[in-house]
Amino acid sequence: MTTRANELTALVTGATAGLGAEFARQLAEAGHHLVLVARDEERLKEKAEELERDFSISAEVLSADLTTDVGVSAVADRLRDAGRPVDVLVNNAGIGLLKPFERNGLDEERRHLRLHVQTPMELCHAALEVMLARGKGRIINVASVAAFANRGTYSAAKAWQVTFSRWANITYAKSGVQITAVCPGFTHTEFHDRMGMDKSVAPRFLWLTAERVVREGLEDNAEGRGVSIPTRRYKVVSFFARILPAKLTSGPPRRPLEPST
């Protein structure tokens, strides 16, 4: 994106780090004013000051926990504010669960499902109220190439985002709203560090930069694509993930569970 926007506003969730911070940076560079959403208010303020200084835009801070009804309602209310319309919504906030499904606490799985499925659904619904009335808008849902494999509840949640975004893009494009699921593979961000994941599990050539993922995602959204898979290598990976037998995309075989005593 090289041209500057004309007084457009973008709302980015999970905006203080990783892909969220890169979305905010590239949108600010294009001239968008920002609404930055995350839990840590201090980090949000630091990020807002940095972007305002570097790109001469205004950055609003909205501290919210998007795994709670209160937090989601606060962001949804901002998206419904027709007097201060949001032109671009980036649903980026996310978490990962490192342990197998049966070893995660049920509350962890509920929180994971809420953040990856219910929250973006609610925020898309809120954003569409104003975008459809104005006849324009853009929504990006940050999914994952894991959506095309079979890797537990993370893949299942991301598959929901891909299916929903593809459908919504077809449905609402004629009304001026473009919706894209961006599906990165392994990307150098804080995401895997927060999970405690050993990054050596993936070979070096599979790792992407946040800059490239966001740049290609924004370009694909601007061109009206319902799904964006950055780089040719991951287009190939996703193609084979879709056609191979499920047992081959479900990870290595695991030992049977030991009976409880």
User: For residues 172 and 132, is the Cβ–Cβ distance under 8 A?
Assistant: yes
Buried b (16+ CB within 10 A) or exposed e, 192-204: beeeeeeeeeeee
Q: Distance between CA atoms of 34 and 25, rounded to whole angstroms?
A: 10
Angle 158-69-87 from CA coordinates, rounded to 5°: 65
pTM: 0.86
Provide the β-strand partners of residue 183: none
Looking from the CA of 99 toward its CB, the CA atoms found within 13 Å total 8
pLDDT at position 6 is 65
pLDDT at position 134 is 98
Token pair recorded at residue 94 = 């996310």
Q: Distance between CA atoms of 253 and 229, rounded to whole angstroms?
A: 27
Interhelix angle 69-79/119-134, rounded to 10 degrees, is: 10
Measured in Å, how far apart are the chain's first and last C-alpha atoms? 59
pLDDT at position 258 is 36
Q: 151 Cβ partners below 8 Å, 6+ apart?
A: 249, 250, 251
pLDDT mean values, one per 10 residues, the chain (261 residues): 66 96 98 97 98 98 98 98 98 91 95 98 98 98 92 93 98 98 78 52 69 96 96 78 64 41 26
Secondary-structure percent of the chain, ordered helix, strand, coil, rounded to 5: 50, 15, 35
Radius of gyration, CA atoms only, the chain = 18
With CA atoms as reference, report the closest residue to 34 among 115, 15, 42, 43. 15
Supply the residues annotated as catalytic.
154
